[in-house]
Each structure stands twice: as C-alpha cells, then as structure tokens.
Structure 1
Amino acid sequence: MTVDVVLPCLDEAAALPGVLGALPEGYRAIVVDNGSTDGSAAVAAAHGAVVVHEARRGFGAAVHAGLLAAEADVVAILDADGSLDPRDLPRLAGPVLADEADLVLGRRRPVPRSAWPFHARVANRVLARTIRRATGLPLHDLGPMRVARRSRLLDLGLLDRRSGYPLEMLLAAVQAGLRVRELDVPYRPRIGRSKVTGTVRGTLTAVADMRRILRERRADPAVRRKAPNS
C-alpha cells in the first residue's frame, strides 16, 4: 500500500533530509515548494521526493497543489520542518486504511513543552474550544498532520489557499458527514525559523484567516461550494 505524503515547503532545506529520511516504507513524499530561496527543491529532489512548484504563497495553495499531484488513494499532510515525526504516519493512516475513519488528525503533544510557543498554544486552545462548540466533535487541536482518502478531500471543494485551509477542511468534512478522529502525536522543536505559529505576527494572521472561515461557514452552512479548477 502506497500513501502519498504532501509536504508544503517554504525554506526548509535544513529539515528536509531528516524528514524525508524518516518516511516509512510505502510512503511517498511530494514536496510542494512554495517559493523557497534556500534550495529546498533541490534538496528534496536529491532525497528522492517528487517536487511540485506552487507560485501562489500560502499553506492552502501548497497543500492543494500537492493533492492534485498525488496519485495514491490515501494521502497524508505533514509539515516539512521536522516538528512532527513521519514515523507516526502509519498510526494515523491505520483507521483510514481500515475504513474506521475518513479523516484522522494528529493532536500535538509538545516534547518539551517549549516546542510549542505559548502564544500559539493559547490561540489553538481558543480555536479548539470554538470548533467543539460548532461541530460537537471532542477535538483539542487543529493539527497539521492528517490523513484521509484523496478523493474525499478533493470532493470537499475547499477554496481557502492561506492559513484558513486546515480549519475549512475540518468544517467541510463535518458538514459532509465524514468520520473524524484525533490521535496524539509528539510535537518537537522545529528546525529553522518558523514562518507562522512560531511568530506572533504569523499566529495573528492564521487566527484572522480561521475566524474568516468560521464566519463564512456560520453564515452559509448549507452551501456546498465548488472547488476551483486549479
């Protein structure tokens, strides 16, 4: 069984060798270069990854490009910064492969606690509480490590191409009746400089994107939006 692993990437040349080297057998890396200037694409290719280039900046844009490039029935999404261990992917993929869940999220457990900046933990806690109220799901984290069947993700018709993409995916999955599960995964200090949750500015931008997604879904929860062609 092959699982395609989509890794959105912006200047992660230092972390990529370790991340790609830790992928389990049967897991194929698709590194989506989102405008790196540190040679990340060349490093990824040298370590056997399929490399996709996405000029539009944004987490959602990179992940969407990776989903379009994927060929496996089951896909995983994983940060390329070394904060999450690819060796945990089979545990998350298990329920999907066994048809016991449609979308499995990795709940980040920081090791050590300082691996997850305080401002980011607080923002995530508030967001998780809002998600529990909106969906009824007992979720604690909007984790970046997740596994699902490719066709189900594409059928959700996600439109956000920035930091709101992970939340839009979850809300659309619940609206579509998908079975969502959360499993714990260790979360370690990332390699290199953070572009999002490691900075206050990045966290505020992500929070603003996610608030926008929540407003849109609340205002029009019954509308099934169509995905763009690219």
Structure 2
Amino acid sequence: MQITTDSQSWHGDLVLPCLNEAGALPWVLARIPDGWRAIVVDNGSTDGSADIARRHGATVVREERRGFGAACHAGLLAAEAEFVAFCDCDATLDPGMLPRVSEPVRTGTADLVLARRRPTRHGAWPVHARLGNRALSRMVRRRTGVRLHDLGPLRAARRTALLGLQLTDRRSGYPLQMVVRAADAGWRIAETEVDYLPREGKSKVTGTWLGTWHAVRDMRAVLR
C-alpha cells in the first residue's frame, strides 16, 4: 500500500476502490461535496485511472492484492478523518449524496448508514444482481435481526469504529462482513434511499451472472 499524494484538511474521507475506471473517475470526483477527501484505491488498473485520479486532486493509494475488500480496507487504513464513507467508482452512485448518507452518523442517530439503491432507468441494476442482493438481505435479517433492503456499497460510519470491527474479508464479502460485525457489536444500522445510475463501462461483479454468483458465494461464506 502506497499513498501518493499529501493529506490536507477535510471533514470526511471517501474511499473509492478502483479497477480500470478511467471513463467514470472525472464525473465521480467532480461530484464529491466540499469537506470530503477522495481516496482512490488503485487495485491494479491498466487504463491510467491512478493518473486521472491524481490530476483531479484525489489521494491515490495502490493496493497490489486484488479484491474489492482488499481495496476497501486499504482505503480505510489510509483514511484519517473522523468519518469515512465508501462508494463504487463506476458512476452508478452519485457522491453528491454523501451528506444524506453521512448525516445520521454525524448527528449520532446511527452508527452505520447504507444507501438503498433506487434504479433511475430500466437496466441500471440487472435482474440477477437485484435477486442476489435480495437473497443476501434476507440472510442477513435471519442472521442478525437487522432489517435491510440493500447491501449496497455506498455507506458511512466513524473511522475508529470501523477499524474496531477488525474486518478480515478481502473479497466481495467485505461489505457484508461490515454489516454483520456491526450488528453483532450492537451498532444502530440505518438505510437511506439514493438514485442508482447506469454504470460507466463494464461491471466486474454485478454485470454478469458469473460475477454475481462469485459475489454471493463470498458473502454466504461470511454468513457461515
């Protein structure tokens, strides 16, 4: 892991795991609200994503170990602000929604807030991905008692509390492990709705049945 830009003053850190998202990065980084620092975690991009992120003012962290969880956790370890949020880097989620997602954590009414995705047009969220997400949400409810509709990637919490969860999954199960361990620790977990947009480029996970199956497999392993 290597941080390649200097830190500065900010109120929150936004972790953006990135693998070949050159087409989406300019829009994503331009949408980040004032007071939030972008931490782009380059997970082996070959399309110049890291250079684009630097040119747009982001802090760039390089994580050699492939995996969504590996990238997310590298960003968490690089974060320094009191509040940390996570978001996909493919332009499906608008970082401009960060205030809505983070406000309950800032005000102390929730410990972890997840964004419940609402597709803005047909095809933005493939059927197989929605079905996999729905099945996992039900499994989480049975396992933890927490009633969630979505296990989406846009979420916010306090940095020190997240580190205290001692998350170990480094694949697609990382977001689910965060929810399960937070629930086991007695955290107040909440949802808020956000728009879900058609992604830029080809999805590495939910764009195919195989990718969705791998993600569900990783998450079911966390629940076991």
TM-score by length of 2: 0.94
1: CA distance between counterparts of 2:207 and 2:163?
Answer: 29
Q: 1:53 corresponds to which letter in structure 2?
A: R
1: CA distance between counterparts of 2:129 and 2:166?
Answer: 28
Q: 1:135 corresponds to which letter in structure 2?
A: T
CA RMSD of aligned residues (A): 0.8
2: CA distance between counterparts of 1:183 and 1:50?
Answer: 27
Q: Runs of 4 or more off by more than 3 Å in structure 1?
A: none
1:101 aligns with 2:103: no
2: CA distance between counterparts of 1:138 and 1:177?
Answer: 14
Indicate the residue corresponding to 1:150 in structure 2.
159
Alignment partner for residue 183 of structure 2, among 165, 174, 188? 174
Alignment partner for residue 193 of structure 2, among 184, 196, 202? 184
Indicate the residue corresponding to 1:207 in structure 2.
216
Alignment partner for residue 20 of structure 2, among 2, 6, 11? 11
1:167-204 residue CA offsets vs partner (Å, 9 max, x unmatched)? 10000000011110011111010101110011111111
Q: 2:118 corresponds to which letter in structure 1?
A: R
2: CA distance between counterparts of 1:54 and 1:138?
Answer: 33
Identity of aligned pairs, percent?
Answer: 63
1:70 aligns with 2:79: yes
SS in 2 for 1:210: helix
Indicate the residue corresponding to 1:136 in structure 2.
145
SS in 1 for 2:45: coil
2: CA distance between counterparts of 1:167 and 1:187?
Answer: 19
Q: Structure 1: 5+ residue runs without aligned partners? A: 216-230
Alignment partner for residue 60 of structure 2, among 51, 58, 61? 51
Number of residue pairs aligned between Structure 1 and Structure 2: 215
1:87 aligns with 2:109: no
2: CA distance between counterparts of 1:211 and 1:136?
Answer: 16
2: CA distance between counterparts of 1:162 and 1:211?
Answer: 12
1:113 shift after superposition: 3.3
Q: Structure 2: 5+ residue runs without aligned partners? A: 1-9
SS in 1 for 2:52: helix
1:142 shift after superposition: 0.4
Indicate the residue corresponding to 1:27 in structure 2.
36
1: CA distance between counterparts of 2:127 and 2:91?
Answer: 19
2: CA distance between counterparts of 1:57 and 1:97?
Answer: 32
TM-score by length of 1: 0.92
1:57-107 residue CA offsets vs partner (Å, 9 max, x unmatched)? 001100100011111000000000000001101011101110111100001
1:7-61 residue CA offsets vs partner (Å, 9 max, x unmatched)? 0000001000000001111011000000000000000000000000000000110
Indicate the residue corresponding to 1:227 in structure 2.
none
Q: 1:197 corresponds to which letter in structure 2?
A: T
